[in-house]
Amino acid sequence: MSRDKLVIFDTTLRDGEQSPGASMTKDEKVRIAKMLEKMRVDVIEAGFAIASQGDFEAVRAVATAVKESRVCSLARAVFADIDRAAEALKGATAPRIHTFIATSPIHMKYKLNMEPEKVLEQAVKAIQRARQYTDDVEFSLEDGSRSEFEFMCRIVEAAIAAGASTINIPDTVGYGEPGEYGAMFKRVIEAVPNSDKAIFSTHCHNDLGLAVANSLSAVMNGARQVECTINGLGERAGNAALEEIVMAVRTRKDVFPVDTGIVTEHIVATSRMVSTITGFPVQPNKAIVGMNAFAHESGIHQDGVLKHRETYEIMRAQDVGWNANKIVLGKHSGRAAVKARFEELGIAFDSPAQLAEVFERFKALADKKHEIFDEDLQALVSQVQEAEAVETYAMESLEVCSKTGTTPKARIVLLVNNERLSAEAEGSGPVDATYKAIEVIAKSNTDLLLYSVNAITQGTDSQGEVTVRLERRGQIVNGIGADTDIVVASAKAYLHALNLLEAGNRREHPQHGV
């Protein structure tokens, strides 16, 4: 069987970040982009350049840092968006502008308030504008799976004629069904006279749990690019998961006539990096990257695997990076060994001072727990990078009293713009008391949308990673904190979220896009 190249287009930094509370800093985006580059992802969609100044700077930083992958910015079919995207991508070795407009009747009527002819005209003009900056232009028909077939063919033909080299027909709202979605690609490719001059792409959302199935159905019917995210991160129920697409194609070579160039051994490390940075934990039974993905508890399964691995495992855990999930580092480990492990995880340091700070925190953690895992190292780097940002609130000390039959109390001392302030409060539990004590000082007027605790590794000495989601006047941020003391981790996460709000670390999208 001759095999075609399947282009992997990762949109973790753009569509993934549109998940409420998944906002990433510029430095965090660069860290993830460098890991995606190490995986040999073909195209990295770095953001929506016109959405905010912060997003523009992040796209520009990724475009400058990444040399081996194409770097893309999203833009509506509006000249201002396209010009802004081009400006952000100036430093890219291989830039791509991804422009889109809605093509379904419901979107054109109620969202755009435009007639189909006007939509087609605007799409063509946008593509022509983008071609003034780069030869690599992608055009997306937002809500493509609910668009009328005849109009879809007309706008696809016009887009290719205008210079679009990639045509994306997304299932924007997760409405598609694998059989009909795949058939749609086949029909369009056969009906459009110049379809051979473009690569067709799929971008599926997971509202009905069909994102991966729909994407693979499109591949079987002629699509040669899949748009996906690490861990399936994305708006609402998420996007097609990169790791599932890649490993399905690799495992079932007898079915799929395509190959990817992904270095799969970096999948698990990348998954953990994204989880740590966004604060979105990976469910244990998640395919490929969940901690139970290669675990066997049933006696029958264990017996089969011991006799012959392939009885219950269709792929090797080592092939996606599970062979390197644990290291033995402790308080006697030297800086060189720690630095070397960070490099294996795709983490580089901006300066010797940053490495020194991480190493100091590593030593402190090693005094608290016997074994240090890769997840611990990821958390340490995130903590240091967060600490380097401008902090309005910093914790100096925390004292909590909680015992059976009494009301928990907390006393906290904070440095607020370098002014030392203290407060006490009671609560229904130690964490509640701690948060109320913080609020005595901060008076943040925020709503707590999410409080989540996740053990970073196994064992009673594991660090607990706490995610706090706060909302204030429409601004949503995620705060993350890690510590072997879960109450301290909770305080760190809450203060991190408050600092992000004070720094204005959020994204404002003029339109959420495909």
| Range in 128-132, 370-374, 443-447, 495-499 the model is least confident about | 370-374
pLDDT given at position 511? 43
Domain range annotation of the chain: 4-278, 391-503
Nearest of 494, 282, 277, 486 to residue 384 by alpha carbon? 277
Contact present, 270 and 289 (Cβ < 8 Å): no
With both helix axes pointing from N to C terminus, report the angle between 267-278 and 374-388 in degrees, rounded to the nearest 10.
Answer: 40
Residues 6+ apart with CB under 8 A from 84: 49, 50, 56, 75
| Range in 198-202, 257-261, 508-512 the model is least confident about | 508-512
**DSSP symbols for 109-162:** IIII---HHHHHHHHHHHHHHHHTT-S-EEEEEETGGGS-HHHHHHHHHHHHHH
Contact present, 493 and 3 (Cβ < 8 Å): no
Match domain 391-503 to its CATH number in 2.70.70.10, 3.30.160.270, 2.170.120.12, 3.40.50.970.
Answer: 3.30.160.270
User: Which ranges of 279-345 does DSSP label H, i.e. alpha helix?
Assistant: 299-307, 335-344
User: H or E stretch including 468?
Assistant: strand 464-472
Residues 388-417: tens digit of each pLDDT:
555 789 999 999 999 999 999 999 999 999
Under DSSP, the state recorded for 51 is S
Please report the beta strands in 27-113, taking only residues with DSSP state E, as ranges in sequence order.
43-47, 70-76, 95-102
Residues 68-121: tens digit of each pLDDT:
999 999 999 999 999 999 999 999 999 999 999 999 999 999 999 999 999 999
4-278: CATH homologous superfamily?
Aldolase class I (3.20.20.70)
Strands 166-168 and 199-203, how do they pair? parallel
With both helix axes pointing from N to C terminus, report the angle between 486-503 and 374-388 in degrees, rounded to the nearest 10.
Answer: 40
What gap in Å lies between CA 224 and CA 202, rounded to an integer? Answer: 8
Tokens of 385: 């990078």
pLDDT given at position 325? 37
Region for residue 222 given its phi and psi (left: phi exceeds 0; alpha: psi -120 to 50; beta: otherwise): left
pLDDT given at position 398? 96
Residue 264 sits at the vertex; the CA angle it makes with 68 and 203, to the nearest 5 degrees, is 75
CB burial of residue 209 (10 Å; 0-12, 13-18, 19+): exposed
Region for residue 513 given its phi and psi (left: phi exceeds 0; alpha: psi -120 to 50; beta: otherwise): left
For the chain, first and last CA: distance in Å? 34
Is pLDDT at 173 greater than 80 in this prediction?
yes
What gap in Å lies between CA 337 and CA 366, rounded to an integer? Answer: 14
Amino acid identity at 290: G
Distances (CA, A) of 215 to 168, 193, 212, 356, 422: 12, 24, 5, 44, 54
Is pLDDT at 251 greater than 90 in this prediction?
yes
What gap in Å lies between CA 214 and CA 386, rounded to an integer? Answer: 38
Residues 257-301: tens digit of each pLDDT:
999 999 999 999 899 889 888 878 888 889 998 877 776 544 554
Strands 393-401 and 419-426, how do they pair? unpaired
Please report the beta strands in 229-319, taking only residues with DSSP state E, as ranges in sequence order.
258-259
Under DSSP, the state recorded for 473 is T
pLDDT given at position 390? 58
